[in-house]
């Protein structure tokens, strides 16, 4: 999946190091943060590593660029909506299934799909092969995933649904399908849903 620096609880996405002066006649100023980086690894909510390639701090609040993957058959996050965010997905390997409202789109390697703000959506992997992709969010969403990783770690992978809902509200990631109460199982099966033993726990989805 590529190299990256280690994430630690409480740490945000790292900015690039280095600074410089404008080159004579270049027509643009070179400021702090110009460097080649591998990104910062944080634990992803479905058990896979996330690599923050460009953080909100590095883009000065303009966007974040994150690399992620889903295992075969992984249903991904619950349906959710961003009221103030635009999001674009670019698939590197495999096929990403993207449900947007009533539509379902399969995004293949080398293809891009854009989710406009205000659209309920859910990325997943309905294939029998892993999918690896990058997604760009504007404004940035990396701090949401960093805080989500801390919540998942703190609760042993089973955060209360109310805590997830509150976190989503603060970061404009409004979950539209969470259990009414009880913990939500994250990170153990590449799936989101009520934790094992909860009466609302669904069976594993059919990856076909």
117 vs 48 pLDDT, higher one:
117
Express as a percent the part of the chain with pLDDT over 90: 52
Q: Among the listed ranges 36-50, 51-65, 187-201, which one has the minimum average pLDDT value?
A: 187-201
Lowest mean pLDDT across 56-60, 139-143, 152-156, 181-185: 181-185
Please report the domains of the chain, with CATH numbers, ordered by start residue.
40-194 (2.60.120.10)
pLDDT given for residue 194 in this prediction: 41
Average pLDDT value over all residues in the chain: 78
Maximum mean pLDDT: which of 16-30, 45-59, 124-138, 156-170: 124-138
The answer to whether the beta carbons of residues 151 and 173 sit under 8 Å apart is no
Predicted confidence (pLDDT) at residue 34 exceeds the cutoff of 80: no
Residue 75: pLDDT band by 50, 70, 90 thresholds?
confident
User: Is pLDDT of 162 > 50?
Assistant: yes
Global pTM reads 0.73
Q: What does the block give as tokens for 93?
A: 């390997």
More confident residue, 152 or 22: 152
pLDDT of 186 reads 64
Going by C-beta distance under 8 Å and a sequence separation of 6 or more, which residues neighbour residue 192? 45, 46, 75, 76, 77, 78, 184, 185, 186
Distance CA 161, CA 75 (A): 18
Give the mean pLDDT of 61-71. Answer: 95
Task: Using the predicted structure, report yes or no on whether residue 195 has a pLDDT greater than 90.
Answer: no
With a CB cutoff of 8 Å and minimum separation 6, the contacts of 63 are 54, 56, 136, 137, 138, 139, 140
pLDDT at 196: 38
């Amino acid at each position: 999946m590529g190299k990256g620096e280690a994430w630690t609880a409480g740490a945000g996405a790292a900015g690039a190091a280095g600074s410089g002066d404008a080159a004579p006649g270049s027509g643009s100023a070179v400021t702090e943060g110009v460097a080649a980086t591998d990104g910062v690894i944080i634990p992803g909510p479905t058990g896979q590593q996330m690599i923050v390639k460009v953080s909100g701090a590095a883009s000065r609040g303009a966007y974040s660029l994150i690399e992620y993957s889903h295992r075969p058959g992984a249903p991904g996050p619950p349906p959710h909506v961003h009221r103030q965010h635009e999001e674009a997905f670019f698939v590197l390997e495999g096929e990403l299934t993207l449900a947007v409202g009533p539509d379902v789109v399969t995004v293949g390697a080398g293809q891009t799909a854009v989710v406009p703000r205000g659209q309920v959506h859910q990325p997943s992997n309905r294939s029998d092969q892993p999918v690896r992709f990058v997604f760009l969010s504007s404004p940035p969403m990396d701090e949401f995933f960093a805080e989500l990783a801390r919540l998942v770690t703190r609760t042993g992978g089973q955060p209360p649904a109310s805590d997830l809902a509150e976190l989503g509200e603060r970061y404009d990631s409004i979950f539209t399908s969470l259990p009414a109460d009880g913990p939500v199982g994250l990170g153990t099966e590449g799936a989101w849903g009520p934790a094992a033993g909860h009466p609302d726990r669904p069976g594993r989805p059919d990856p076909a």
